[in-house]
Structure 1
Amino acid sequence: MAKIARTQGAAISPWLRGLTLAVLALYLALSAYVLWRAAVLTPYSDEIDWIQRWRDLQVHSDWSAYLLTPVNLHRLPWMFGLIAFDIQALGGTNLPLIVSGALSVGAMAWLLGREAARAAPAPLALPAATLAAMLTLMAGTILDAATPICVNYTHGAVLAVAAMVLADGGLREGLSWRRAAALLVAMTAALGDAAALAVWPALALGAIRRRDWAWLAAVLVAGGIFVGLYASGQGGDARSSTHGALQQPLVALRLALNYLMLPWTRLNLDLAWIGGLLIALIGLAAVLLRGGRQAPRAERLACSFILFSLGTAAMAGLGRSGLPDALNVPLRYGVLLAPLHVGLLMLALPYAGLLWRANRPFAQALCAAGLLLMAAQNGLMAVKVVRASEVVRTTLEDFRQGRRTPQMLVFVHPDLAHAERIYAGLRQDGLFQHELHLKRGTPAR
């Protein structure tokens, strides 16, 4: 199928090339605007505790404890390292976290776009790469980069994608330098976010499908040792996180299905699981039926991307089902589904090539409609993302001005007295005293 679709056909029309480049340019400009408008520089929620963690470091000077002590099953040395650098070198701005998030989603868009272009028939390479980048850079993903407490998800996602790309490149079987680098990158991915541990099953399945037993052994040994070390000292936390799933397996399943509908879950929380179920069935069918030993690299890699995202959905179902309002899955997890979306696109591209050969005008019109539809829905999402960030900034400023509302327990911190002490210390030290786009005097909503 892929071989047939890659045969030479008519080149992309100038009007479609121009439209694709224009849509891409506008989309990137919108992404930059959302990053700027959604950025929150004031620490809040978990970051208040992370700043206290840095203050504790000044007392005990134990960098290994500061960087590696788990936070809700996550080990986040990249996050804590950037916070320490920010405070010590820049006086507390949150900009290093935001810049690292922007670079991460940008790098992931480039990686996924490149692989989509390679999977596409020659005339569709540019639209395929553009659509993959658009799927990666949706406003909900940009929100992760703009929100310091969510940046870790971008770190884990881009490194997991890089590990899968490295693992399925080159011509050699067994353990090569490229694959050794893939193992190392897979380890660093989980140090960005624990959800990136889902990359290990994806690497293992890829080795099994290729019957590359030496590579499989390397993945199992390296992954087993790393995951064991990662999980060490978290026994009680791990058991408590899965307690809700064991007690309410149907809730855990529905949560995972709601997760798979991100970033569109909130369009209808009651029915989101239906769309998630459809995505799960399509994804599982793709992983089971495609990407075999004789499959082209693009197909194998697409299946790895899909399996990775499905794995993160399973982890969400296990880890979040005991939380209040668990079915209202946070938008911040959407970045972990970009590989699935692009993986499905990559599997569909050979069929798009057949349509192109059979009816080029219709295929071009369909391609243009898809690009414009993606751009339009992202514009609507961008409006909601920017407004949500404005609410957060206004609520934080109201709290700093002494106002108190119930929603501050959600937006600021569950322990408002603790937050007051941290903010007082930040004012005294002159840290994190700047904010963007703040409308002072606006009452909390």
Structure 2
Amino acid sequence: MQTKTTEFLLNSALGQEADNIIRSCVHCGFCNATCPTYQLLGDERDSPRGRIYLIKQVLEGHATSRKTQLHLDRCLSCRACETTCPSGVQYGHLVDIGRQLIDDKVTRSVTEQIKRFTLRKLLPYPQRFAVLLSTLQLLKPLLPESLKQQIPAKQTSRIKIDYHSQQPLQTRKMLILQGCIQSIATPNTNSAAANILHKLGIDLISPRQAGCCGAVSQHLTAEQEALNFMRSNIDAWWPYIEQGITAIVITASGCGAMIKEYAYLLKHDSQYADKAKRVSELAKDISEILVAEDLPLARIKPSIHNIAFQSPCSLQHGQKLGGVVESILTRCGFKLCQVDDAHLCCGSAGTYSILQTDLAQQLLDNKLATLQNYQPELIITANIGCQLHLQSQSSIPVKHWIELVDESFT
């Protein structure tokens, strides 16, 4: 696609990168066929191709309005378009840049600013979120039915993950990201991962200094805040990496997709670029660890056979790991239901379900219809956001797939 980016933006790193990405687009429209918001709204401006044109106009100095901002806000950042793009357009990077450029020009309403600020100061901090969740769980009997559905039941972690300060590492040690919301709302996810890996001779370490992966801030255009989260995690992990740790295990696919982007996002940081590259190389979804291990299949006795797997966008499109979890589950003896339109987003998409409630609800309705169509006994997923979103209205239990595998170990 031809561009006429202003000289001012071409002299900036963001402008140059956006210009290069847009030039790689041949505006074929294949992306529109897999875009969830275009499928719902039928508006070209709510498709990847249309949003690329909108960002192109911003780069070329055209007036930017709240309408332009809204069309980019409606993007789920699901990256399904990247999976189907024949030209390899890095749309996920482009839409982040576009949002940042537009937010610098268009002032949001006070209500929007407060909502987005609150999300940034609450969700990435487990202790703060724990207070909120505990309060809501306590008040749950008094709340309207519609709100009750949004509050997950309390979980107590079955296994304590080893916390080390900085001790010499033995063989088969890996780091694990605890996660923000996941560590509070569904602690059994990491417990299950720790249990399985321990049986395979792998022990996990979780440095206390490690925190949010930075995804919430990044997608709410708080770039420097996101980068600070990334640097903090790198500092927490680096002593173990220097000692030869073999992987950073991540059980929330949304966090995994983000940490694998550290190398890209910190590439201009002279102090952290090399370290970020190494961290991105070591970041592994739990499925990548298990697919490389010799699972003792004789010890796995599936108690539930008919299950539906919801493959999160961050897993199949962000990390390009479509089919990996399914292959593990099949090897373990589980029977997977057919899921139509499995490439489409469930509507969770980080903070999307909070900020774009109407579209998120339509996507949730559609996703639950396809997941429940073949009457599974259980719905499983690989991301905390998807799990809570689906759980809020599913008539069938929803849990992380790693819990199912752990429960089936004899």
**TM-score (structure 1 length as normaliser):** 0.31
Name which one, 1 or 2, has greater alpha-carbon Rg. 1
Higher relative contact order (CA 8 A, sep 6+): 1
- Structure with the higher fraction of residues in strand conformation: 2
